[in-house]
Chain A
Amino acid sequence: MPVVTLYWDELEKLVGVDRDMILSKLPMLGCDIERVEEDHIDVEFFPNRPDLYSVEGVARALRGFLGIETGYKEYEVKQADWKIIVDESVSEVRPRICGCVVRGLEITDEVIRSLMEVQEDLHWTIGRNRRKMAIGVHDLSVLEFPLRYTTVDSSFSFVPLDFDEEMSIAEIFEKHPKGKEYSFILEKAERYPIILDANGEVVSFPPIINANRTRLTEKTSDVFIDVTGFDKNVDRALNILATMLADRGGVVEGVEVIYPDHVEQTPDLSPTRMSVDREEIDALMGFSLSEGEIISSLEKMRFGVNAREGYFEVLIPPYRADIMHPWDVIEDIAIGYGYDRIKPDYPRTATIGRAHSWNEVREIVKEVMIGLGYLEVITFTLTSERIQYDAMRRERPEPWEGYVPVMHPLTEEHTIVRTDILPKLLEVLSVNTHHPLPQRIFEVGDVVVSMKNILRLAACSTHSRANFAEIRSLVQAIMREFDVEWEVKESDDGAFIEGRRADVVVEGKKVGVFGEIHPEVLENFGIPTPVVGFELDLSELFDVGGVI
């Protein structure tokens, strides 16, 4: 989630209250304050509120929330003669474009910083790392309208931002930092999107890089913003930027986008209307609010509202990208009303508690193991073929039928989900060789075989005299407590010493194994003392209940 840096002097000036007031109220609007410094705060806003990624947006919301300036705020788009002509060829690669002009800005370092920050955050969130949406901001004075949005091939060249010589598109992908970072978006493209001005000069190569000549300077007062992409997120981003700059005192002028088959006026800063049922509000809140409370809550959250018979007509500001459903509005009613003012009420839903047998079996098994002097441990279920099979002198089973391999593991130690617990216990012993012996440990938990969870119990004991008799006694005791008739069969499990290993067989089926761990296995794990151990399949022995 994006962390936005807000400078106190600007924030206090734009909101009109002091920092203590802001600090106390801001979290109740929906954010996490990460850091409070002398000159700024870092605030993490939620990904559903991209309109709060700038100091202007935060100030607008806070002024409403604090009751300084409430209700819907109108934004005007002046008609002008700015045009973008869209070539058919872009439909293959990046079909949507919109734009606006903002005039009369005082471009200070603060404005540039805020613009760059909001741009980055929007790219990352609603732009999905520029894939779905990318923004360019340009100095209007160097552009000759109408612009053309078209495509070129990879040999096409221009001077990209932060460079002073021409580079072809192929070279930008290879050499320009932004080209390298974002070339994946156009990986499959045959032709590349480009915005040219009336003189054929490059404005931008979306979503990668602007032309160097259009960069903002201290002398800039009028800007042109382009947003390209695929869907309505393009319009949302433009609305957020246009309203933010309008709050800075800029005058927004519309741009006409001429597609081969239709024409659009952008940006559209008129509100969206949504009907929200009075009953729905009460039901979702769980209590009844008065009409006045609903209206004032909505206005604090900067919505426009008209009370109608049984419902409210809500005007949604153009910068709000998150309102998909009336419940989204109701959440804002709750926030505007104040979460701290809502009286919690325990629901009267009457049901009977019921434990799952999986965990009930685990609890009883733990009781038995602890009674037998074994210490409970828990371990990761992520592990590797090397630990689970190779180090155990066991053959690797088939993937999927046996174990589950993960795609793109982060480390060599975590490539599969465990099918056995015993190797995990040996790992525990291997990192505990400096603690006094004897060490007796167990784990009762899940393994995944054939993509399904199975409940297992494993235990091991290590000290200088650990031997087969000890582990057989243990298995005997456990099976006595489990009330299970069982027999042993000679085992062929390579993890144990031949002649000192046994399969546990119940009703003709192998349900476990025990014995003296093979010294080669001990060597693999770096354990200097003899170890005896067992593993039992509890899913075979008990009804462990249904698993979703």
Chain B
Amino acid sequence: MLSPVEITLIKALERGKYSVDEAAKKAGMKRDAVLKAAHLLQEKGYAEVVTELRRRYFLTEEGRRYLKEGLPEERLTKLLEEGVENIDALKELMGKAEFGIGLGWLRKKGAVNIDGGRLRLVKKPVFEEKEWLKAVEEGKELEEDKIRQLMKRKLVDFDENKDIYVVIKEVPKAELKAYVADLTPEIIKSGEWKGREFLKYDITIPSKDVFAAKVHPYERIIRECRKIFLEMGFTEIKGNYVQPSFWNFDALFQPQDHPARDMQDTFYLDRYVDLKEEFEKGYVERVKETHENGWITGSTGWGGKWDVNRARQLVLRTHTTAITIHYLAQNPEPPVKAFCIDRVYRRETIDATHLPEFDQLEGVVLDRNVGFRHLLGLLKEFFAKMGFEDVRFRPGYFPYTEPSVEPEVYVEGLGWVELGGAGVFRKEVTEPLGIKGRVLAWGLGIGRLAMLRLGMKDLRRLYLPDIGWLRKIPAIRR
């Protein structure tokens, strides 16, 4: 059933276009009611509400004056006809500016010539412009080129108004009351709908957009990675963003003069910790020995002096390995399988692929009878679960692993793409912390996955979200 307002409106009108005022007059309704009814009818496909821009031309101040007093050329003609021919006198009478305008137009029309300071009329000019001005003043239609001429002389200007029209596309033929339109609680309760037909809506008209609340696409990738790790039997670990250099660098056998430890690349904090627990457990002493001379690890060490003060300084962790190594030190007995997916920091200038903070994924396996071949097995399985069936391995370099490997996955359309790094933790890393067995480790930047999965070119978009983009990006792709 159409609502009363809709019925009133549509009954009053036939097919055709009406201004709101016109429709209001015909239906005896208020403008507001007409608009409301028209919108409702529009949803059902009977009407359309259209907005049209309308130009209204009006005279400028100058235009109004000319209409009243005559155009300058008209006035000049009149003076010439009265016998005033001396240019100076004409200037005096008309004002210098208007005389100039008048003369200009008369010359254009070929109506005058100048002869030694005198002006002579050679033919009688016609002044249609005054008629045009009058037409504009009265709101009559005027040809476009005439309007243009007047506008050029700045005698006419315009403003624009929006006019709303109701277009009736179809008047339902059958008795309007026989249809059920909006199904209301009253109609259901009364059973009024029984035996009646339902008004058919135009289902092709799109409705207003609403947007789903949903998980950030990047978090969805992280969720997927977590699930894979948990399925593979890994324990999830969590660590603070602020870490002592000891765990971020020294425990990982990064020499204290290593370029990666420069201020250039790391966010240092002006704060030093006592490393009390690390001293008590003997880590500090053994790490120092290992750096200086290899301790009992079989290594030559880096040589030189290792300075505990540098290890005390806090940093915003540059990798999650600061957390995994500390966890392994706390859990040194095999078997251990652990993973961490979390934020890390690099002192890097922002561009499309470099961010000062990003999320990193890392997995470690500690066991006695595992080696490099098993690391490759882990990587193959992990990437296969991520949907990368083809994986190949190239030698890599990371300061705390030996051997090191750079896995590459095959991506349709891109070819072989490097995805993260992996290796077996060096003995210089595991032995000073009392970790028993070998540690297989791998990691990768989630941003890289996001680029492959979401086809992103600019990672900045992840962390300063464009709500339009988030609304548009589908929750699932086929």
Tell me, rounded to whole Å, the shortest Cβ–Cβ distance linking B323 to chain A: 5
Tell me, rounded to whole Å, the shortest Cβ–Cβ distance linking B468 to chain A: 5
A495 at the interface (CB under 8 A from B): no
Tell me, rounded to whole Å, the shortest Cβ–Cβ distance linking A257 to chain B: 19
In Å, the complex CA distance between A237 and B79 comes to 104
A432: chain B residues at CB < 8 Å are 465-468
The reply to whether A451 and B271 form a contact with Cβ atoms under 8 Å apart is: yes
Contact flags B333-371 to A (C-beta < 8 A → 1, else 0): 011110000010101111000011100000001010111
Contact flags B367-382 to A (C-beta < 8 A → 1, else 0): 1011111111111110
Tell me, rounded to whole Å, the shortest Cβ–Cβ distance linking A462 to chain B: 10
The reply to whether A378 and B218 form a contact with Cβ atoms under 8 Å apart is: yes
The reply to whether A375 and B211 form a contact with Cβ atoms under 8 Å apart is: yes
B242 at the interface (CB under 8 A from A): yes
B214: chain A residues at CB < 8 Å are 370, 375-376
The reply to whether A406 and B268 form a contact with Cβ atoms under 8 Å apart is: yes
In Å, the complex CA distance between A434 and B468 comes to 9
Within 8 A of B (CB), among A391-437: 400, 404-411, 414, 417, 427-428, 431-432, 434-436
Interface size class, chain B? 35 or more
B226: chain A residues at CB < 8 Å are 355, 359
In Å, the complex CA distance between A331 and B398 comes to 12
The reply to whether B241 and A448 form a contact with Cβ atoms under 8 Å apart is: yes
B138 at the interface (CB under 8 A from A): no
The reply to whether A354 and B467 form a contact with Cβ atoms under 8 Å apart is: no
B402 CB contact (under 8 Å) in A27, A327, A408:
A327
The reply to whether B215 and A366 form a contact with Cβ atoms under 8 Å apart is: yes
Shortest Cβ distance from A46 into B: residue: B397
The reply to whether A407 and B267 form a contact with Cβ atoms under 8 Å apart is: yes
A372 at the interface (CB under 8 A from B): yes
B337: chain A residues at CB < 8 Å are 349, 351
B53 at the interface (CB under 8 A from A): no
B237: chain A residues at CB < 8 Å are 356, 548
Tell me, rounded to whole Å, the shortest Cβ–Cβ distance linking A435 to chain B: 5
A283: chain B residues at CB < 8 Å are 369, 371, 438
Describe A's contact surface by its main secondary structure. loop
Within 8 A of B (CB), among A95-153: 125, 128-129, 131-132
Q: Which of A163-171, A438-446, A480-488 contacts the other chain? A: A438-446
Describe B's contact surface by its main secondary structure. mixed
The reply to whether B370 and A328 form a contact with Cβ atoms under 8 Å apart is: no
Assess A324 versus B405: contact at CB under 8 Å? Given A286-B372, A339-B395, A347-B370: no
Assess A406 versus B316: contact at CB under 8 Å? Given A356-B238, A378-B465, A453-B240: yes
The reply to whether A346 and B374 form a contact with Cβ atoms under 8 Å apart is: yes
Within 8 A of B (CB), among A496-518: none
Count chain B CB atoms within 10 A of each CB in A339, A374, A453 and give the residue with the most: A339
Assess A325 versus B467: contact at CB under 8 Å? Given A347-B440, A349-B337, A451-B240: no
A227: chain B residues at CB < 8 Å are none
In Å, the complex CA distance between A286 and B298 comes to 20
In Å, the complex CA distance between A453 and B377 comes to 34
B350: chain A residues at CB < 8 Å are 411
Within 8 A of B (CB), among A277-293: 282-287
The reply to whether B241 and A287 form a contact with Cβ atoms under 8 Å apart is: no
B397 CB contact (under 8 Å) in A27, A30, A366, A373:
A30
Assess A407 versus B395: contact at CB under 8 Å? Given A349-B335, A355-B226: no
Tell me, rounded to whole Å, the shortest Cβ–Cβ distance linking A316 to chain B: 11
A431: chain B residues at CB < 8 Å are 464, 466
A358: chain B residues at CB < 8 Å are 238
B101 at the interface (CB under 8 A from A): no
B365: chain A residues at CB < 8 Å are 347, 349
In Å, the complex CA distance between A432 and B472 comes to 14
A417: chain B residues at CB < 8 Å are 241-242, 316
Shortest Cβ distance from A408 into B: residue: B263
Within 8 A of B (CB), among A375-392: 375-382
B381 CB contact (under 8 Å) in A131, A346, A353, A408:
A346
A231 at the interface (CB under 8 A from B): yes
Count chain B CB atoms within 10 A of each CB in A355, A356, A380, A408 and give the residue with the most: A380
B16 at the interface (CB under 8 A from A): no
B426: chain A residues at CB < 8 Å are 325, 327
B420: chain A residues at CB < 8 Å are none
A330 CB contact (under 8 Å) in B240, B357, B376, B403:
B403
Within 8 A of A (CB), among B244-286: 257, 259, 263, 267-271
In Å, the complex CA distance between A331 and B327 comes to 26
A414: chain B residues at CB < 8 Å are 356
A28 at the interface (CB under 8 A from B): yes
Interface size class, chain A? 35 or more
Shortest Cβ distance from A125 into B: residue: B259
The reply to whether A353 and B349 form a contact with Cβ atoms under 8 Å apart is: no
Within 8 A of A (CB), among B155-211: 209, 211
Tell me, rounded to whole Å, the shortest Cβ–Cβ distance linking A170 to chain B: 27
Tell me, rounded to whole Å, the shortest Cβ–Cβ distance linking A61 to chain B: 12
B219 CB contact (under 8 Å) in A330, A374, A376, A547:
A376
A344 CB contact (under 8 Å) in B294, B369, B370, B376:
B376
Assess A377 versus B395: contact at CB under 8 Å? Given A128-B257, A345-B376, A451-B242: no
The reply to whether B303 and A286 form a contact with Cβ atoms under 8 Å apart is: no
A381: chain B residues at CB < 8 Å are 241, 343, 357
A230: chain B residues at CB < 8 Å are 304
Shortest Cβ distance from B216 into A: residue: A376
B476 at the interface (CB under 8 A from A): no
Shortest Cβ distance from B300 into A: residue: A324
Shortest Cβ distance from A347 into B: residue: B374
Shortest Cβ distance from A334 into B: residue: B403
B299: chain A residues at CB < 8 Å are 324-325
B470: chain A residues at CB < 8 Å are 375, 377
Q: Which of B33-41, B106-114, B228-236 contacts the other chain? A: B228-236
Tell me, rounded to whole Å, the shortest Cβ–Cβ distance linking A106 to chain B: 34
Tell me, rounded to whole Å, the shortest Cβ–Cβ distance linking B279 to chain A: 18
The reply to whether B209 and A436 form a contact with Cβ atoms under 8 Å apart is: yes
Shortest Cβ distance from B393 into A: residue: A339
In Å, the complex CA distance between A29 and B397 comes to 11
B367 CB contact (under 8 Å) in A32, A349, A453:
A349
The reply to whether A286 and B370 form a contact with Cβ atoms under 8 Å apart is: yes
The reply to whether B402 and A325 form a contact with Cβ atoms under 8 Å apart is: yes
Shortest Cβ distance from B217 into A: residue: A376
23 A-B pairs within 8 Å (CB atoms) are namely A232-B303, A284-B372, A286-B375, A324-B302, A325-B427, A327-B427, A330-B402, A339-B395, A339-B405, A342-B372, A343-B373, A346-B377, A346-B380, A347-B365, A349-B370, A380-B463, A408-B268, A435-B471, A446-B343, A545-B238, A546-B238, A548-B323, A548-B326
**Chain A interface (Cβ < 8 Å from any Cβ of B):** 27-30, 32, 46-49, 125, 128-129, 131-132, 230-232, 282-287, 324-328, 330-331, 334-335, 339-340, 342-347, 349-356, 358-359, 363, 366, 369-382, 400, 404-411, 414, 417, 427-428, 431-432, 434-436, 439-441, 446, 448, 451-453, 545-548
**Chain B interface (Cβ < 8 Å from any Cβ of A):** 209, 211, 213-216, 218-219, 223, 226, 229-242, 257, 259, 263, 267-271, 294, 297-304, 314, 316, 323, 326-327, 330, 334-337, 343, 345, 347-350, 355-357, 365, 367, 369-381, 392-397, 402-406, 418, 424, 426-428, 438, 440, 462-468, 470-471
The 3 closest A-B pairs by CB, nearest first: A286-B371, A286-B373, A46-B397
